[in-house]
Amino acid sequence: MTSKTTHVLPIYQQKGLKLSKNDTSSEVNQTLYRSMIGKLQYLVHSRPKIALAVGIVARFFANPRENHLIAMKRIMRYLKGIENFGLYYKKQLTVIIFYL
C-alpha cells in the first residue's frame, strides 16, 4: 500500500486568524507587503493550489496590517515545506507537423 502525504492549504490552518480590511492590528511596510504579493502571484503559475490563499491576502495590499502579513508568512512557510515538489515535463520525442 502506498502512503500519500497531503498538505493543507496554509491560510486555513490557523483557527483564530480573521482577515478583514477593518483590522485594528498595527500597520506594516506597504512596499514589502506588495513585493511579497508579487512573488507569490508569480508562484501561482507553477503551484495552483495556493491561488486562493494568495488571492485572499492580495486583497489587502492597499492597507496591509499585521494579521495580513502573518497570513502571508504562513503561505511562505507552506512553500518552504514543499520546495522539493514540482512539475515535471517529459521531453516529447516525436514532432508532428500538420499541413493545411
> For residue range 64-80, what is the model confidence (pLDDT) as tens digits?
999 889 888 888 888 88
Phi and psi for 99 in degrees, rounded to 5? Answer: -110, 130
Read off the DSSP letter of residue 68.
H
User: Which pLDDT does position 15 carry in this prediction?
Assistant: 63
- The answer for residues whose C-beta is within 8 angstroms of residue 59's C-beta and 6 or more apart is 19, 21
User: Which pLDDT does position 1 carry in this prediction?
Assistant: 44
Residue-by-residue DSSP string for 19-49: --TT--SPB--HHHHHHHHHHHHHHTTT-GG
> For residue range 36-69, what is the model confidence (pLDDT) as tens digits?
999 999 888 888 888 988 998 999 989 999 988 9
pTM score of the predicted model: 0.68
